[in-house]
Amino acid sequence: MKKVLWVFITFMTVMSMILVSCKSETTPTSNEGPTVIEGTVNNPLPETTKPVIQPSTEKPKYGGIATVSLSANINGFDEAFISPVGVYTLKLTNQELLMGDWTKGPAGTNEANFVHGGINAMDLKTGCLADSWEIPSRGKMIFHIREGVYWHNKAPTNGRELTVDDVVFSIKRMCTEPGAYIKMSFPTLAKTLVVTGDEATRMVTVECPLEEWITALSQVPDFLTIMPRDAIEKFGHMNDWQNSIGTGPFMLTDFVSNGSATFKSNPNYWEKNPIGPGKGDQLPYIDGVKLLIITDASTRLAGFRTGKIDSAGGEYDDVKEFLTDPEIKSMSYSSDSCYLIAMRTDKANLPFSKKEVRQALFLATDFNKIKDQYFSGRALILNWPIAYTKEYAAAYVPMEKLPANVQELYSHNVTKAKELLTKAGYPTGFETTIITYNTPAFVDYLSLIKEMWAEAGITLKIDAREYAVWVSRLRARNYDELFYFYSSAAWQRLLNFNGSSFYNMSYVNDSHVAEVYTQMNEYAGVDEAMQAKIHAELMPYVLEQCWVLHTPSAHLYVVWWPWRKNWIGELYIGYYNDFVYNKYIWLDTELKQEMTGRK
């Protein structure tokens, strides 16, 4: 079967459209990370396209404009009005209390890849607007606000210093502003979060009930953007790009809807390079960043091919011409989330309430055929309830270490599937309907599933809906039998099979899972290794239940020109902190001019 592009619309755009209006408690998913790529169901097979790229040993140089592309328009500039994962410019202009620790990534100790947006490990963070922090007990965080950080030199802040009041105001605003992400997506946290500040000691204390602790950890330290209070009080909001004021390494100087966003370096930025040949250098190295909004994939790749864009990405067929080019750098990775088929396990009158039926669906599905024919052999099969990432490897159990009965579920055994259906009371199979978005990518894949399930006597009807209808049904978890959507990478909250968020689309209400979640919550932010261990011990049980049928994840690739230095594919430096890497990279403008004729 001809493979079609899975990312029919950028993940960030999907999340922006869904989460802004979501009223259930949710957490965004993510999209990236270099991994050990699985070859067959039972045998992991690492994939190597080129030699491993080592951190740069060259002394960084200043100058040049980094050019990157976006596949969707920028729809806002204030996360009180649009989901944080869609406010792309804030990652360049503004900052959070904490951030991913660049020294623990490929440029340093290599403890992290910094390619997955959903990595939120506290031990991989460092101070940002808070130079240090404490967690004296679960439910309480203390942030020590950094001195010597100044807002961009624009009215009304006029380059004044960041204050504790700015921080307290920003956190409270996200809990009270009607359209703010925390207010809408985590209403219980918004109502119960207590934020206090002491200007004299430059301390901000954040407290919440224990049952909201994991949520608070995901939202406050390395996700919530700090804004200038006086600017918001003057303008009413920061959703007009011309009002953009932050403490970040870049300043937004121009924006053309569906065209581009232009940034220049902040001359009064506070951060120094923490590691490598440029350790101690003032950041950023580049003079600015140009975000080109190019919705057409072929046009984006053409821009990269001609050197107008510094980097690009996609599935193998999208970038294969670049993977063998000795001048172009590349890396491969697999998503830390996936698409999946959810089932109404809560309805006793439906077949999906029975584990035997759900297991039969797995056995009727030929995962290796999907991988080999649909994804040309380049896909990760075991990607739910958590996909392998370097940072969270301890929370993951590879296929070959799962119990034999769980491995068997991936073996494609139609005879065994029919036996289980008979045992469950469906000797001749049954008919069922799945709701999906009417993009060809989804319909083509589900058509393949339909063919496979038919061999076991299951007749699948595909009910393809318009995007707005699909999103509305998704938000409300409103469907009768089956629903095709995507998972969350936030494994710490067990969102995919616990609670009432739309990620638990199969309406799982399992006492063992609830008990384990309580255990995991005790270690959140305090002992993440134990939290991961508990999750890994739970994973075989969850897979055996077959609450969802997950779709293999296509291998993804990043390619870039050699003039981009001190970068080997890092995409998110912290929790959904895309584009932050631009403050660490430098450009060899002489090499770029030699290769393209322009700097």
The pLDDT, as a whole number, for residue 7 is 38
Q: Are both 238 and 129 inside the same structural domain?
A: yes
Q: 306 with 431, same domain?
A: no
Q: What is the CATH number of the domain that holds 183?
A: 3.40.190.10
The answer to whether residue 70 is domain-embedded is yes
| 232 and 112 part of one domain | yes
Mean pLDDT of the chain: 90
Chain centre to alpha carbon of residue 52: 24
> How do residues 233-286 score in pLDDT, each as one tens digit?
999 999 999 999 999 999 999 999 999 999 999 999 999 999 999 999 999 999
Q: How large is the average pLDDT for residues 183-208?
A: 95
Task: Please report, for the chain, how many H helices and E strands are present, in that order.
Answer: 18, 21
Residue at which a domain ends, from 554, 572, 587: 554
Q: How confident is the model at residue 53 (pLDDT cuts 50, 70, 90)?
A: low
pLDDT tens-digit readout, 367-408: 999 999 999 899 999 999 999 999 999 999 999 999 999 999
CATH code of 344's domain: 3.10.105.10
Is 246 a member of any domain? yes
Answer yes or no: is 294 within a domain: yes
233-247 confidence digits (pLDDT tens): 999 999 999 999 999
Residue 231 lies in a domain: yes
pLDDT above 70 coverage of the chain, percent: 91
Are 291 and 358 contained in the same domain?
no
For the record, the structure tokens of 438 come out as 């009417």
Tell me the mean pLDDT in the region 67-90.
Answer: 89
Do 568 and 537 share a structural domain? no
* pLDDT at residue 179, as a whole number: 87
Residue 45 has pLDDT above 80, yes or no: no
Q: Which residue has the tokens 């940034």?
A: 263
Task: Clarify whether residues 445 and 416 are in a common domain.
Answer: yes
Say what the pLDDT of residue 598 is: 76
Residues 387 and 292 in one domain: no
CB-side exposure of 376: number of CA atoms within 13 Å? 11
Q: Do residues 229 and 363 both lie within one domain?
A: no
Confidence of residue 28 (pLDDT cuts 50, 70, 90): very low
Mean pLDDT of all residues in 142-152: 98
Calculate the CA dihedral of residues 561, 565, 568, 572 and round it to 10 degrees. Answer: -100
Per-residue pLDDT of 104-134, as tens digits, reads 999 999 999 999 988 999 999 999 999 999 9
**Does a structural domain hold residue 273?**
yes
Q: Is residue 375 part of a domain?
A: yes
> Rounded to an integer, what distance in angstroms lies between the CA atom of residue 188 and that of residue 175?
10
The model's confidence at residue 8, banded by pLDDT at 50, 70 and 90, is very low
**Is residue 23's pLDDT more than 90?**
no
- In this structure, the answer to whether residues 389 and 298 fall within a common structural domain is no
pLDDT at 52 over 60: no
Assess whether 433 and 305 both reside in one domain: no
Range of the domain at 272: 59-310+561-596
Evaluate the omega torsion of the peptide bond into residue 55 and state whether it is cis, within 30 degrees of 0: no
Give, in order, the Cα–Cα distances in Å from 327 to each of 173, 314, 333, 565, 592. Answer: 48, 18, 20, 13, 12
Residue 475's pLDDT is 86
Statement: residue 47 has pLDDT above 50: no
Residue 237 placed within a domain: yes
Q: What is the pTM of this model?
A: 0.87
Average pLDDT of the segment spanning 23-31: 35
How far apart are alpha carbons 243 and 257 in whole angstroms? 16
pLDDT at 128: 98
Which helix (H) or strand (E) is 205 found in, with range? strand 203-207
Whether residue 370 is found in the same domain as residue 285: no
37-47 mean pLDDT: 34
Answer whether residue 534 is part of any domain.
Answer: yes
Do residues 550 and 198 lie in contact, with contact meaning Cβ atoms separated by under 8 Å? Answer: no
Residues 408 and 544 in one domain: yes
Tally of structural domains, the chain: 2
